[in-house]
Chains A and B, each alone.
Chain A
């Protein structure tokens, strides 16, 4: 697994965290009626949300980047390591979404980070 693969893997994680956070920001910013409205109202609000659009664009780049990574690295390495995006969303949830993670969520984020390090190291 070369440097380019690792860099694109990092990009994938960053874009995933960005996309998740943007989707949530977009959904939080929606009119309550649109959000709970079944079907058309909800999807129209989704389609016109700038945050959702930004997140979706990030997802498209992420998909291409991820495909490159998967073509050059074992799925059993980068698959589990992609859990690092959990750590990122706990951080952005706290920083940008006003979420208040409890200690166990932080501890979980720490364990995911350690586990991802182990998986990466297992490549030898």
Chain B
């Protein structure tokens, strides 16, 4: 499973391990971001107007934590994206939706009805299809880019 394909541009297995580590870190950071934002959104009262809301948001630790995590996720994502085709890289973030849904049930006690579960299954199937189209620029370099 760890065998790297013999692509011309692929690096040694150390690169592969770094890539997998990067993905895992990305998934953890992104899930934590959603959880922090959910907590943040619940603590903010938007009845007082936008200016007040922004001021209040900037003084709330969990909001700042959310933004900090968001920024970290952004940096990790850029390092991933520099090597991978966007249409290929993005669908692989699907795992985040599974981990986020789990957090919704466990941490926020949201209940899932049948339609919602069916919808998530269909989304997951769609994302799996998207992700299985693994053609990247590396294998189609005949064309101009």
Chain A residues with CB under 8 A of B128: 108
Chain A residues with CB under 8 A of B110: 74-76
Bound state CA distance, A122 and B78, in angstroms?
A: 34
Chain B: interface residue count, which band?
Answer: 35 or more
The answer to whether A105 touches B119 (Cβ under 8 A) is: no
Residue from A68, A80, A97, A110 in contact with B119 in the complex, judged by beta carbons closer than 8 Å: A80
Encode contact with A along B100-114: 1 for CB under 8 Å, 0 otherwise.
110111001010111
Residue from A64, A101, A122 in contact with B87 in the complex, judged by beta carbons closer than 8 Å: A101
Query: Is B28's CB within 8 Å of the partner chain A?
Result: no
Encode contact with B along A1-45: 1 for CB under 8 Å, 0 otherwise.
000000000000000000011011001100000010000001000
The answer to whether A76 touches B126 (Cβ under 8 A) is: no
The answer to whether A79 touches B34 (Cβ under 8 A) is: yes
Encode contact with B along A41-79: 1 for CB under 8 Å, 0 otherwise.
010001000001000100100011011111110111101
Residues of B within 8 A of A (CB): 34, 37-38, 40-42, 44, 46, 54, 57, 63, 66-67, 70, 74, 77-78, 81-82, 85-87, 90-91, 94, 97, 100-101, 103-105, 108, 110, 112-116, 118-133, 135, 140, 145
